[in-house]
Amino acid sequence: MCLAIPARVEQLVGDDVAIVDFGGVRKEISLSLVDNVNVGDYVIVHVGFALQKLDVEEAERTLALFAEMNASQASSV
C-alpha cells in the first residue's frame, strides 16, 4: 500500500526543489511533477516527490483526520 501525505511548502530552494513541513518534520522534496508551486501551498508528497497541489481546506481536513487517527491509536494503547 502506498501513502501520499499532505505537506506545506516552507521554502523554495532551487529549480524544482522545496523544503516542506510534515507536522514539524522538514524534508527536501522534488517539485518536478507539479507546476506553479509557491511558499504556503500544500502538496501531496509520495517518496520525495510532490504529486499535485492541494487546496488548503482539503489539506487541513486530511491532516486533522490523520491527527484524530493518531490520537485514537494512542489512547487505545
pLDDT band at 62 (very low <50, low <70, confident <90, very high): confident
Is pTM beyond 0.85? Reply is no
pLDDT digit string, tens, across residues 28-61: 999 999 999 999 999 999 999 999 999 989 888 8
- Residue bearing the bigger pLDDT, 25 or 69: 25
Would you identify the CATH topology of the domain 5-75? SH3 type barrels. (2.30.30)
CB-CB contact of 41 with 55 (8 Å)? no
Examine the pLDDT at 76 and tell me if it is beyond 80. Answer: no
Q: Dihedral (C-alpha) 26, 32, 38, 41: value to the nearest 10 degrees? A: -60
